[in-house]
Chains A and B, each alone.
Chain A
């Protein structure tokens, strides 16, 4: 079964999520081809070729300078017809979701989203989706081809690049007469703190359990002691206590640090989805029945105003030893 994996580029580099999708498909024995679109992408293609794929298709053209999905969707629709791809698999991102939607409509495809896994099922394929607020796993088949598969963000971890490179083949961009109706510009001075959260090894976050913006300093102090970054939950952003860039969660930044400490965060689903890829999750909450107490590794029942300074001091002491 042949699959096509459009590789999303972030700052000119292949996104780890996209490379992770290649790894997942290879794990299921699919013949997957990566697709890289852009200009001057030879080097990127060589990088991608060292991941587990049958080959890398590159479409080098200035028409891909836009972030808008239209030219990519048109090319992918062509490739599906010409080369018989049965599956198009992507990792969810703001842009990938729109691309998947356009492919699906162009090709009258069958679509599954929020996938945590795909599995071979005899000659077919089935997807496992996170549903019902992430409390359930729904297994479903695609009943038409092509099958469009959207994995959840951060669901697929990339493999280590190998020493052998898969072949790289140039394809011609589709002749598209689609006018560019949506202009998308990347704003300068991008939120670097969002990127900082994305890359952070340790994150300490504060939530509604804080009584004033000043109490974020307690959170920051523990983060400093651990050498980590500071995050917040959605309500603090809504109250204007912190910029959106600091928000951890489904609508903010989906994080995957080695250690996540949630201070005064109840653990609503939108926050849960944002943190569940973390290594260790520690929750500090006065309410032992808060949802977060059911999906953490260590739940500390207590008042964060007492606990945070104490924990920061103990961590500093432990690091000095």
Chain B
């Protein structure tokens, strides 16, 4: 079974904007999604049961190589990293075009995505990439079972839980409650450096006909409005302050 794991798709306007702010000497928290290992862990477990190969797919800056080596150290077999300066202006839809082309080339049986925490909408990216490939997608799963050529699992929706199922090949987004990722062993880390990593650019994938990378245009980035003005009190004042506040907001009579 060939399993692809999409990791650390940090890119696009968010990163660009952050750079602009850093240049202007304003503080911004990191916009790079934390390297997340739940999908890698799930892929390794599926490989342990079914055999096959786990490959990593990443779109982002070359600096992302460190994160890929970490996942190779956990046990993934190889990696593809697509970097291109043209991607700095890509939006989620644009990234899904690139990702779909990469996955079409690799044709995995199963493609896993980690939960998301960046400024790319993960659930949107998975569903758009799947739609471009004409493949089914299961989003936001907290459990995953691969059997008889099908992927099935459960997710939490706004009301109740959904049980989902679809045939392979498919794309699956797993959330962070699905497993407890292993850490890379010393031996694993040593082997990671010897594992193949293919570095690509958009030209390698699309020749001289790159896809539309963005259909949105950023015109302004500004700090979020401050909506609350916190008042800090000590534990001694706490009860009186809380009761007074609840009364003034008519939560207590």
Contact = CB atoms under 8 A, between A and B. Distances in A.
Given A113-B92, A137-B221, A131 B14 contact: yes
Contacts of A140: 13, 216-219
A110 B126 CA distance: 16
A187 B227 CA distance: 38
Contacts of A279: 249
A265 to B, nearest CB: 14
B219 A307 contact: no
A144 B94 CA distance: 13
A132 B137 CA distance: 27
Give the bracket for the number of chain B residues in contact with chain A: 35 or more
B243 A98 contact: no
Nearest to A106: B131
A238 B223 CA distance: 32
Interface in B223-243: 223-225, 227-235, 238-239, 241-243
Contact of B138 (A10, A135, A182, A299): A182
Interface stretch (B1-9, B55-63, B163-171): B163-171
Contact of B228 (A110, A138, A142, A295): A295
B228 to A, nearest CB: 5
B215 A98 contact: no
A245 to B, nearest CB: 8
Contacts of A62: none
B131 A102 contact: yes
Interface stretch (B79-87, B150-158, B185-193, B195-203): B150-158
A105 B212 CA distance: 13
A141 to B, nearest CB: 5
Contacts of A11: 159
A135 B225 CA distance: 9
Which secondary structure characterizes the binding site on chain B?
Answer: mixed
Interface stretch (B46-54, B102-110, B117-125): B117-125
Given A186-B160, A251-B115, A311-B238, A114 B216 contact: no
A299 B157 contact: no
A54 B139 CA distance: 33
B130 to A, nearest CB: 8
B41 to A, nearest CB: 14
Among B216, B231, B251, residue most surrounded by chain A Cβ atoms (within 10 Å):
B216
A298 B93 contact: no
Contacts of A136: 17, 28, 221-224
B146 interface: no
B136 A142 contact: no
A113 B241 contact: no
Among A101, A110, A281, residue most surrounded by chain B Cβ atoms (within 10 Å):
A101
B230 A296 contact: yes
A94 B121 contact: no
A161 interface: no
Interface string A66-96: 0100000000000000000000000001110
B216 A112 contact: yes
Contacts of B119: 114, 131-132
Interface of A: 10-11, 15, 67, 93-95, 97-98, 100-102, 104-106, 109-114, 126, 130-144, 150, 153, 181-187, 190-191, 194-195, 198, 202, 226, 234, 237-238, 244-245, 251-252, 258-259, 269-270, 276, 279-284, 288, 293-303, 306-307, 310-311, 314-315, 318-319
Given A132-B28, A186-B161, A251-B115, 16 more contacts: A95-B157, A111-B124, A111-B128, A126-B219, A130-B224, A132-B17, A133-B117, A135-B223, A136-B222, A142-B216, A186-B160, A187-B163, A295-B228, A297-B245, A301-B235, A315-B252
Interface of B: 13-14, 17-18, 28-29, 31, 91-93, 96, 115, 117, 119, 121, 123-124, 126-128, 130-132, 136-140, 142, 154-167, 175-177, 214-225, 227-235, 238-239, 241-243, 245-247, 249, 251-253
